[in-house]
């Protein structure tokens, strides 16, 4: 089963805080979605470190507002 996820902070928008995961249950979908967003955040933070102007920038998120819905 496919599930859509979104974890909007409503103050900062990113292109990687939403997507789709495949899981058997909504609980599994949430865990996979959080893992995927955390992976994306890590990639963004690593990219920031590559440039002197952004080397001290950091992205982090609170996952309490993550929304999981069944994909069509």
CA atoms within 13 A on the CB side of 70: 4
pLDDT at 7: 79
- Is residue 21 packed enough to be buried (19+ CB in 10 Å), middle (13-18) or exposed (0-12)? buried
Non-local CB neighbours of 5 within 8 Å, separated by 6+ positions? 18, 19, 20, 21, 29, 30, 33, 36, 37, 66, 67, 68, 69
pLDDT at 39: 96
pTM: 0.83
Q: State yes or no: pLDDT of 51 exceeds 80.
A: yes
**List of E strands, the chain:** 2-6, 18-22, 67-70
């Amino acid at each position: 089963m496919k599930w859509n996820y979104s974890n909007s902070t409503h103050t900062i928008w990113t292109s990687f805080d939403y997507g789709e995961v495949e899981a058997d249950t909504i609980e599994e979908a949430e865990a996979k979605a959080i893992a995927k967003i955390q992976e994306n955040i890590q990639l963004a933070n690593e990219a920031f470190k590559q440039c002197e102007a952004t080397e001290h920038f950091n992205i982090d998120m609170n996952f309490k507002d993550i929304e999981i819905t069944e994909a069509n």
